[in-house]
Structure 1
Amino acid sequence: MSYSIQDFIRLIARLRNPNGGCPWDLKQNYTSMIPCLIEETYEVIEAIQKKDMVNLREELGDLLLQVVFFSQLASEDHYFTFDDVLNDVAQKIVRRHPHVFGNLNAGNEEEALARWNEIKAQEKSGKVVHSILDSIPHAFPALLRAQKLQKQCAKVGFDWREIPPVIGKIEEELQEVKTELLQTPQNAERLEEEIGDLIFATVNLARHIKCDAEESLRKANYKFEQRFRNIERKANALGTSLEALSLAEMNRLWDEVKNEEK
C-alpha cells in the first residue's frame, strides 16, 4: 500500500485518539518530544555524513514523523494544523525567491542569499526587537550559536576585517588558560570560563575562513573515533589490549594509523 502525506497525518491523529490510540503517544506533549526531535535530527545528519542513502531515507521519514506529531499536538490545542505549516513554508519559499518565482535576477549564490536575508529582514521589521541577537535560539548547539552570534554582530560592523587579529585573540585566550592553570589552588569556575573564551575565539577564526565550526568538530570527532578504533584493532592483532600498553606504545600505534591514511 502506498501512503500519501494526508494518509500519514491521519495515522498520527489515530495514534493520538483517546479511543483506541497508543498509550505512549497519548502521554506525549511538546516538551517530552524534544529529545526525540533532537535525536532524529542528528541521525539524519549521521546518515548524510556516512553517505548512507538507505538509512537516510528511513531517518528522513523519522524526522518527518516529528514534524507531523508536533503539528498534531498543535491541532488538538487549536493552534494550527500540518496544512498550515506546509502552507506557511511554501509561501515563504515563493516570497523569498523572487529570482525564481518572480521577475528579479540572482547571478550567483551570494546574491540569492543576500536577497533571502533582505526579504527576511523586511518580514521581521514590524516585530518588537530588543537586540539584534533576539533571533538566535538559545537551544542551538553551543558551537552553532557562537557562530550565529558572531555573524549577527558582524552585520553591524562589530568584527575584525582581517585574520591576524582573530588569531591574536586565540593566542591571547590560550595564554589566559595557561595562566589560570598555574594558579594555586586552581579556580574551576574561572578555568571553565577561560576555556569557553578560547573555544569562542576559535569559532571566530573558523567563521572568518568560511569554515563551519560545528561541522569541523563533527568531522574531527569522526576522524578521532576511526583512528582510535584502528589502534584498538592493532592492539588486538598484537594479542594485547590498550590497557596493557604504555602511552608511548599507544602513540606509536596512533602514528602508524595516521601514516596508513596518507
Structure 2
Amino acid sequence: MPAPRNTFKAALAQQRPQIGCWMSFGEASTAELMATAGFDWLVIDGEHGPNDLRSIRDQLMVTDPSPSHAVVRVPYGQDWIIKQALDAGAQTLLVPLIDTAEQAREMVRACRYAPEGIRGMGGAGSRVTRFGSISDYATTANREICLLVQVETRLGIENLDEILAVDGVDGVFIGPADLSADMGFPGNSGAPEVQDVIEAAIRKVRAAGKAAGILTLSIDGAQKHLAQGATFVAVGIDTLVLANAARSLCSDAKALLDQQ
C-alpha cells in the first residue's frame, strides 16, 4: 500500500485556487468544528498558536477524515521539527522565515527520505504509516509531501527567484505581517508600498509555475489576491472569527437595553 495521495498538493500543481483558514486555538475540539465549515485547507499553527507535537497530532486526527486538508506550520525550519511533524501524520508543511535558496533546499531534504533527503527512517511505528499498515510508505512518501515556504522579509523577496528555482518547493506563502514590519510598516500590511511588493511577489511565484499563498482577513482582500494569481488563500483566523462574532453579538444584545 502506498502513501495516501495528497489532494491539496495535486490541486496546487493544477493551479486550482484553494480557500483556507488559520487555526490558532491549539485545540482538537475547535479543529474538529473548523473541519465542518467547508474550507479546502486549514492551518495548524505551530509557530504562533499554543501548540506542541501532541496537540498538532490531535488536530490532524480530527481533520484527516474531513474534506479540509491540514497544513502544519512548524515553529521554525529545523530538520528535527519537520521529521516529528511528518511522523505525526502531516502531509503538507508550511515553514516560516525562509530567506535564501539554501534554506529552502535544506527544508526539501528534511522532508524526503534518502537518497533524496535526510528524513529519518523511523516511521514504521508512527501514525503516518497507520502504525505499519502502509507497507510502501517509505518508497512512496516523497512524492506526496507538499512543502510550502514562507517568504516574509526583504531579504526573502530579494532572493525570491532563487528560492523559486529550488526543486521540491511546491509553493511560496507571502507573510504580509512580518514583511510589512521588515519594510518599516509594523502592523500596517495594507500600506501601498507593502501591497505593491506582495502583488509583484505573487505574480512572480505564479509565473514560475509554483503556487502562491497568502493570509488576508477580508473577502475583498481575498478577491484581490486571487485576481493577482494567488492559489491558496486563507481568509481568516479562527480566534478572530469567534472574537469578532462574540463582540458583535454582545453589542447588538446590549443595544436592546437602550430600547427599554
TM-score (norm 2): 0.26
Structure with greater Cα Rg: 1
Give the TM-score taking structure 1 as reference length. Answer: 0.26
Question: Which protein is richer in helix relative to its size?
Answer: 1
